Amino acid sequence: MTEHTLTHLNASGEAHMVDVGDKQDTHRIAEARGCVRMTRAAYDAIVAGNLKKGDALGAARIAGIMAAKRTSDLIPLCHPISLTNVEVRCEPTEGDDGPRIEITARAECIGKTGVEMEALTAVSVAALTLYDMAKAIDRRMVIGDIVLVHKSGGKTVEL
């Protein structure tokens, strides 16, 4: 298989679930990150915990963890994985492009397939949760820069 072969397509070009039955169980780790850019007012309210809906940073962290656990229910053809650890961090920061919340998720398992989708899903849902909780203040928040930053375990070379 070349690195450009699409593993979720069979010889006829039909989508299918990849058979991982012959793979070895290994400790697999993936880390993803993303951010939500927002106005000063939204940022200040989130950081101070002054939103009518409650603690946005805590809710986003829990939502990200819950989403990682449900990834196979959300992404077609994604294997259900028994996660051994999921961590989500939501860190307020101020950059050249203004205030934002940086989100990092790390997912781990001992298994036959990786946890990249779980880490990416955790970041995405955490970001959506922040948006939902602060949209009354800023409907123009921008969710972006969601990217896999680390992957290890199995045969695939680390990022």
The β-bridge partners of 106 are 31, 87
Write out the two tokens for 146.
């969601």
Give the integer Cα–Cα distance in Å for 122 and 86: 9
- Which phi and psi (to 5°) does residue 108 adopt? -140, 150
Residues 6+ apart with CB under 8 A from 19: none
Residue 35 burial by Cβ neighbours in a 10 Å radius (0-12, 13-18, 19+): buried
Q: Which residues are catalytic?
A: 132
Give yes or no for a contact between 142 and 36, defined as CB atoms under 8 angstroms apart.
yes
